[in-house]
Structure 1
């Protein structure tokens, strides 16, 4: 049966999907152009026509995989509810399960980005977009009087840094900390960052702390 002829955009997307699958299955260091080509039954030359090097293919594959995550984040943060509930939902979703392939992909990407400039630029841009989305919702909550936060951008950075560290513990060192405990720490950190009264359930928005509170 003849292979269906794909447009350039369709072919690139097919190659990127295959690259993500191969990276998840084999690991970033081990995956080869030949693995991606073989998975689709195409030639190495076709892969290289669209992505001239393995490094460029990997960087594009990370960007492709991350767009799905960013779309999910935007959906969570765009819900018609309080900023606090949106933030909590996003942070709980961000916290990985024990066997989270998406987080394994990111951890490998961070390591490889230390040596590969193309991947470093992609991961840096994606990280900025994550933090910017959280910063925007935190600022919305402050403007609405839900909570007090003098520096939403710094708060977004601290919260994501905590989550990134917990992700490494949960994904790479199974048993070090449970997801239940990690989620508890995330809730506690969120309450501290937003100046919520000690012991308040962050699932239920309460009165904002005083504007001049420290």
Structure 2
């Protein structure tokens, strides 16, 4: 740009230096990874695991595709980790609430209401869709560990009830396995909707199973 007439030369301004890479303000790696994973969950829930691409995830997370591929090897890895986070966010607080109740019977009701309510449909849809999709990854060790933790919490609740005399159960571990299998089956039936299965119906089936399995009296069953 030409200098204005009558004006002297401008004094030199401060010399600008490039900011060293290690001095730049950037979000920590784990924060960026978490943002990407959290952006992926609602996309998979809405469009299915097979209907989500890297560009979709990058757009939802507000980052470039290059940032996504820098942190993850592809969509399969993202979905796998996103499902692990969803499992943890679903089961961990439920297990804590369940085991914090004064009695095992009250904890049992927390379990029944916690696995079947209007908010849990999203969790079940995400989980089953990723399994049904051809692009779904094989569950990794993190997912297995989280499910094992949940099963351990259910077994702990049953064991507490047996020790307090509230429950009658010969094999705690096997009962916990059968409980988890029934919950998964009812959730799948509910999502398929053929025939329809309302939340109250799903809870009723689970309560009847627990009443029978744990030796509760149907007429005075507190979880009914």
TM-score range, shorter chain: 0.7 to 0.9
CA deviation after TM superposition for structure 1 residue 82, in Å: 0.4
Structure-1 separation of matches of 2:220 and 2:104: 16
Aligned position for 2:17: none
- Superposed, 1:124-139 pairs within 5 Å as 124-139=144-159
Aligned position for 2:222: 202
Q: Which whole-Å deviations, capped at 9, do the CAs of 1:136-163 have from their partners, x for residues lacking one?
A: 1111111122111111111111111111
Structure-2 separation of matches of 1:64 and 1:106: 11
Counterparts in 2 of 1:122 and 1:99: CA distance versus 1, 3 Å? closer
Counterparts in 2 of 1:136 and 1:114: CA distance versus 1, 3 Å? farther
Counterparts in 2 of 1:128 and 1:109: CA distance versus 1, 3 Å? farther
Counterparts in 2 of 1:123 and 1:111: CA distance versus 1, 3 Å? farther
Q: Which whole-Å deviations, capped at 9, do the CAs of 1:75-132 have from their partners, x for residues lacking one?
A: 2223241011102211221024398211100111333499633x35444333222211
Counterparts in 2 of 1:21 and 1:87: CA distance versus 1, 3 Å? same
Cα-Cα RMSD? 2.3
Counterparts in 2 of 1:115 and 1:42: CA distance versus 1, 3 Å? closer
Q: Is the CA contact (8 Å cut-off) linking 1:191 and 1:202 kept in structure 2?
A: no
TM-score of the two chains, using structure 2 as the length reference? 0.80
Task: Tell me whether 167-176 or 182-191 shows the greater mean CA deviation.
Answer: 167-176
- Alignment gaps of 5+ in structure 2: 1-24
Aligned position for 1:29: 50
Q: Is the CA contact (8 Å cut-off) linking 2:54 and 2:68 kept in structure 1?
A: yes
Aligned position for 1:177: 197
Structure-2 separation of matches of 1:142 and 1:114: 43
CA deviation after TM superposition for structure 1 residue 175, in Å: 5.3
Q: Which has the higher contact order (CA 8 A, sep 6+)?
A: 1
Q: Is the CA contact (8 Å cut-off) linking 1:98 and 1:174 kept in structure 2?
A: no
1:66 paired to 2:87: yes
